[in-house]
Amino acid sequence: MFWVYAGIVVSIASFFVAGYLYQWVKQQPGGSKEAEEIAQLIRNGASAFLRREYRVLAVFAGVVAIVILLFLPTPIWKSDFLTNLKMALACLVGATLSASAGKIGLDIATIANLKSAVASKKGIAPAFGVAFKGGAVMGMAVVGCSLFGASVLYLLTKDANAVLSFSFGASTLALFAKAGGGIYTKTADVSADLVGKVELGIPEDDPRNPAVIADNVGDNVGDVAGMGADLFDSNIASIAAAMVVGLALGQEHLVFCYATLGLLASILGVLFIGMGKHRDPGRALNTGTYITTALYAVLTLVVSLIFKYDLRIWGATIVGLVVAVIIGITSDYFTGDNKKPVEKVAKASSIGPAFTILSGFSYGLVSCFPALLGIGFSALVSYKLCEPLGASYAMFGISMAAIGMLSIVGMIISNDAFGPIVDNARGLVEMANMGEDALVVSDELDAAGNTAKAITKGFAIGAAGLTVIALLGAYRETVMSIAPEMDISFNIMDPLVFFGIMVGVAVPAVFAAMLMLGVDRNAERMVAEIHRQFETIPGLKEGKPGVRPEYEKCIDIATIGAIKELIPAGLMAIIVTLVVGFVGGVHAIGGYLTGNIVSGLFLALLMANAGGLWDNSKKYIETGVHGGKGSDAHKAAVIGDTVGDPFKDTAGPSLNTQVTVVSLISSLAANLFIALSLF
Amino acid sequence: MFWVYAGIVVSIASFFVAGYLYQWVKQQPGGSKEAEEIAQLIRNGASAFLRREYRVLAVFAGVVAIVILLFLPTPIWKSDFLTNLKMALACLVGATLSASAGKIGLDIATIANLKSAVASKKGIAPAFGVAFKGGAVMGMAVVGCSLFGASVLYLLTKDANAVLSFSFGASTLALFAKAGGGIYTKTADVSADLVGKVELGIPEDDPRNPAVIADNVGDNVGDVAGMGADLFDSNIASIAAAMVVGLALGQEHLVFCYATLGLLASILGVLFIGMGKHRDPGRALNTGTYITTALYAVLTLVVSLIFKYDLRIWGATIVGLVVAVIIGITSDYFTGDNKKPVEKVAKASSIGPAFTILSGFSYGLVSCFPALLGIGFSALVSYKLCEPLGASYAMFGISMAAIGMLSIVGMIISNDAFGPIVDNARGLVEMANMGEDALVVSDELDAAGNTAKAITKGFAIGAAGLTVIALLGAYRETVMSIAPEMDISFNIMDPLVFFGIMVGVAVPAVFAAMLMLGVDRNAERMVAEIHRQFETIPGLKEGKPGVRPEYEKCIDIATIGAIKELIPAGLMAIIVTLVVGFVGGVHAIGGYLTGNIVSGLFLALLMANAGGLWDNSKKYIETGVHGGKGSDAHKAAVIGDTVGDPFKDTAGPSLNTQVTVVSLISSLAANLFIALSLF
């Protein structure tokens, strides 16, 4: 039990760190009345959206909890009430913690944006410090919450199923929060760009644009709350998967040990990060990541030696860690500013927009190869590494690789939240006219934030990949424990398994399409509203002093649309899973999960990388190549960027969560599938 | 042996039918001197390309044959020379027959285009008759060649391995022919459209456009020769797969029986097709397909009853047949003129090109669901249907479903070749000024050809899907026969299998990307050349009488580029397969094939349907909605169409063949993988 308590202690420590950083950021000097006003608008818009979204999701979580109470792990009339109640409560707690993590992140991000904007008048180092510390609040809160929740829950129940249900609650909330946030942010972003940049030729973040506040709100609800919920969910899921396999081996203490040390390494990394003398924000972020990685490797090695844990397990976590870094580097290659793909896509843009799309999409396809190879390879190596310890240890090895990959998640979330904070800060500098110097500083931070986001996205997908493979193992473990007499080899040549694979492959595609069509529909409405405002509000287009667009209308459209569109896609994935399970049984589900994992990862990588590539190709052209801003090449690149936005910020990142949710349901409902399936 | 001889007789009958139709088409009246000249240009361009392509492929096939001679089925120093020689020769014969089928199709298509154009002056019925009969020559030749080759080869060798090698030769040739033809046709099409329609606003097929002849050549080398090679290859592969499984059961006569009856049904269908009184070419094509389908179902039922074959086998073939029709209908829904997706994408185009891309891509994603479900379901049903006959009969059921799906392939190829013939005819009518009436007729035939193409594409992918599942079964059968002591359940939880799946999923993505980037590079060169001609040839832009562009230069660029780009992508797929096999062994290959099949099918469906959808949305707007031709919506739709062109005509259809080739190599090299793999 030592490591469970250690987990609780370290996660409480992370709360203190988060609280300290929160206070520190809050005490930084505020801005002019105008800036405060705009920041307040963003804050209100974000809070209002989150409130409405959470109200819908509370109902949904309630329904799910009742379903769990009635049916899981076994129908209530066949089981004892307490077990089912425990499951239902665990699910609710998971959902609540996930929601809280999102809320905390949003609160700090909508404070830190203004503080960082104000600090950017003093130079790059202070502005970077404020933004990074703001992001770190989120990082600490998310990882702290997840480890704290898992530890306490395990202490109270000693039941792996309850941890699965906890994870399921968190994932389901994350699924809808990400879909909703993703639709919101891209509706606003795409509409603002389309009318502002493309039609009227006014700059980004121009206060005349009625959608500009909604756009800034979107960064917060999509990138901060959404990404936080996603990584919260991956983190919990990796712990849950490792727990299921680990408990069967009596090795669950190792899970807590490695997860706790990961949080510790992240805390230390976050506290010691700084700009250094090079004044390069991107380098500072990367250095932080490398330090955390190295710290984690050393800490776990030392602990393993002291406690005489088998070094093969340690090796498995390190494999996961190394692959995480490699996937990050691959994403960086395919989306990085000064790399070949960006240059090629920029060059293709000078022929026409169709070539922007074709070349960016093609590079996106290629970019999947190294990442999928890396995930498959790390699963293979960690499996083979731990196989000598005993048959079931092999699967435990994979789940420990997932734990290793997610060990530095505290640092990753901090880097990731940095992006939308500085993006918002840039918007505030522009909208509140804070001056040219501040704009240069905030531009530089924004660029660093973009690169960091591409890398953390690759990381998030890789982490989800290993986690869901581990969950597949957990699913098998669950089936074995329920029906030990069953043959649970999921043989591809079994037509039920194959059928499952085919359906599993199709689901992420439909899921992604539903979200993107949601953005399409929503953006149509918002574009119409922006046009209406420019036409009917006198003086708006000309920028007459004192004339303000009706920002709230656009915020309303984004909010209502996102709330309406966020449920169907997620529900589709859940329902198809249940149908496959009740029709084809546990074997079909084994295939279904595999198909879902591979196609989910593939599409997520494709969309994240192609989206990032288009975005940076546009920025690359804006530096003056191929005619620079306003040229035909630039117009083509803007079209690519607009296509890429829902790719990389709506559909792509939601796919991770879809795969996780589906994997968790399968484990939870395994009992029912065994008892009730058609085949 | 009865059915083997019957196969030979019926395939010879199909040659006679093809010869008769060929002569009939050739004797139709020719056109004016101008029209003959242009048709000659197209014919010469196509022949020149095919000659150069086949020269490269002959070298390649020679190398492959030598490799087979040395290593397959076992290294020559361990095996007897004759067996290996038989394999090598079978491969060469397969490649030669595949090449001949392509050549015959090309010859007739480049004759029928002019004859149909001339006939269109007399009305729609004569023009339809000529074009359809031209396509039927191809259909009969392709299916006849494949059944004839397989029957004779079986008669001579009685060796399933030799049939596999024959199929491999045909598939490899198809792989490169389709890649080369696909790159050629889209290079020319995209470049011609980009400069002609988008920049200069001149109509399609305007003789001033230097790329216009290359574009018409491309239709022939890409759609006729390429598609013919593809379906030739699927047809052979389905026979080979069923033979491998069937021979082990002593049921190979059933394979020949069902394949022979399929060809017979197609011959009858082709002979009795006609316009009827409704004068609707699309309906005429569909009626032909339905008649053939019904004929096949009745013929096989009667034969099964007479010969007392088990009706479960008959059921399996009918399942395949029905699913083929269903997939065709799905493709029609997602790409059809008067259906919701086309309307939605057209509407999205009125907001901007990014929305054209996003909505079309999203519907493309959704369209994969029913088709994948259908393929998975038909595999499941045919398996379960035949399972009561004995364990190995289950897999035989799947391979017979593939045979059933491909039974009507003769009719399908006829319909498919109809498309490029009428497309070319329309070009000739325009370029040779044959008058407004002829243009209306040829436009109507062109539209029917487009719809038919979308349906046959869906069919081709579905057929390939079932075929490769059958090949997966053949692969397992091969491994079992080589190493009966081996555990050949490909369990997903085996990390080697899982690793294989991950790599397998990535390969079609990289393959597709390489082809599309090839089109990109090539089109860049050709666009530059078109610009050069318009700038340096006086009077060309203005259409001064007597001034002709240098068509040959564009044909040269397309030819050289396609030859250069066609090898790397296919080679990559082959090499990765060998690497996975030699590293991970037969289990990794089991996973690899599965991953390759699902992702190959998924991408092929996505690309074919999204491409068809964009194409038809553009055409829909051209009928006058959302502002019609020249409007912003139309410009956006043209961008979508340009993106869709390499999707649907280069990468999409080549993916089928990639999957088939990889499946065949795996079976052929299974012996080596077992002996030499690292793990």
* CB atoms A376 and B502 under 8 Å: yes
Copy the structure tokens of residue A85: 């109640």
Q: Give the model's pLDDT for residue B446.
A: 87
Residues 175-194 of A with CB under 8 A from B: 190, 194
pLDDT tens for each residue of A654-678 = 898 899 999 989 988 888 898 888 8
Contact A359 B517 (CB under 8 A): yes
d(CA B375, CA B368): 11
Residues of B in Cβ contact (< 8 Å) with A374: none
Distance between CA atoms of residues A119 and A127, nearest Å: 5
pLDDT surpasses 90 at A637 = yes
Q: How far is the alpha carbon of A670 from chain B, nearest alpha carbon, in Å?
A: 17
Model confidence at A427: pLDDT above 90: no
Enter the ipTM.
0.92
Type of residue at A622: E
How does pLDDT run across A203-226, given as a tens digit for each residue? 777 888 888 889 888 888 888 887
> pLDDT tens, B299-319?
999 999 999 989 999 999 999
What is the pLDDT at residue B137?
93
Crossing angle of the two packed helices A33-71 and A551-622, in degrees rounded to 10: 100
- Distance from the Cα of B367 to chain A's closest Cα (Å) equals 8
Judged by CB atoms closer than 8 Å, whether chains meet at A643 and B358 is answered as: yes
A369-423 per-position pLDDT tens digit: 999 999 999 999 999 999 999 878 988 999 999 998 888 888 888 888 898 899 8
User: Residue B654 and residue A499: Cα distance in Å, rounded?
Assistant: 24
Residue A360 pLDDT = 95
Residue B276 reports pLDDT greater than 70: no
Contact residues, chain B, for A591 at CB < 8 Å:
492
Residue A44 near residue A107, CB atoms below 8 Å = no
B602 contacts A598? CB cut-off 8 A: no
What is the least distance, in Å, from the CA of B45 to any CA of chain A? 26
Mutate which: B194, B340, B367, B380, vs A, most A CBs within 10 A: B380
Distance of CA B549 to the CA centre of its chain: 32
Judged against a pLDDT cut of 70, whether residue A452 lies above it is answered with yes
In A, minimum Cα distance to B569 occurs at: A366
Average pLDDT of the residues in A627-654: 90
What gap in Å lies between CA A483 and CA A271, rounded to an integer? 49
Within a 10 A sphere around the Cβ of B311, how many other Cβ atoms?
A: 13
Radius of gyration of chain B (CA): 24
For A643, the closest of B357, B507, B514 (CB atoms) is: B357
pLDDT digits (tens, 9 = 90+) for B159-183: 888 888 999 999 988 888 888 888 9
State how far the Cα of B356 lies from the Cα of B353, in Å rounded to an integer.
Answer: 5
User: Is the predicted pLDDT of residue A80 greater than 90, yes or no?
Assistant: no
**Residue A27 burial (CB count, 10 A):** 9
Indicate the average pLDDT of chain B: 89
Q: Which of A199-203, A610-614, A651-655, B475-479 has the lowest mean pLDDT?
A: A199-203
d(CA B495, CA B587): 9
Q: Please check the confidence at residue B82 and state whether its pLDDT lies above 70.
A: yes
pLDDT tens, position by position, A82-133: 888 998 999 999 999 989 888 888 899 999 999 999 999 998 889 999 999 9
**Chain B contacts in chain A segment 508-567 (CB below 8 A):** 509-510, 512-514, 516-517, 519-520, 523-524, 527
Cα separation of A243 and A158, whole Å? 10
What gap in Å lies between CA A636 and CA A646, rounded to an integer?
17
Residues of A within 8 A of B362 (CB-CB) are 512-514, 516-517, 520
pLDDT digits (tens, 9 = 90+) for B177-214: 888 888 999 999 989 888 887 778 787 778 888 888 89
How many whole angstroms separate alpha carbon B280 and alpha carbon B525? 41
Confidence of residue B271 (pLDDT cuts 50, 70, 90): confident
| Per-residue pLDDT, A480 | 85
Residues of B whose CB is below 8 A from A200: none
Is A311 near chain B, with CB under 8 Å? no
User: Residue B501: which of A510, A598, A643 has the nearest Cβ?
Assistant: A598
pLDDT tops 80 at residue B29: yes
The residue among A396, A498, A525 with the most chain B CBs within 10 A of its CB, best to mutate, is A498
Q: List, in order, residues 6 or more apart from A73 with CB less than 8 Å away.
A: A79, A83, A84, A87, A161, A668, A671
pLDDT for residue B334 is more than 80:
yes
- Residue A139 CA to residue A110 CA, distance in Å, equals 15
Confidence (pTM): 0.93
Q: How far apart are CA A415 and CA A455, in angstroms?
A: 10
Select, from the ranges A219-228, B425-434, B499-508, the one with the highest average predicted confidence (pLDDT). Answer: B499-508
Per-residue pLDDT, A339:
87
Cβ B237 vs Cβ B471: under 8 Å: yes
**Considering chain A, what is the average pLDDT of its residues?**
89
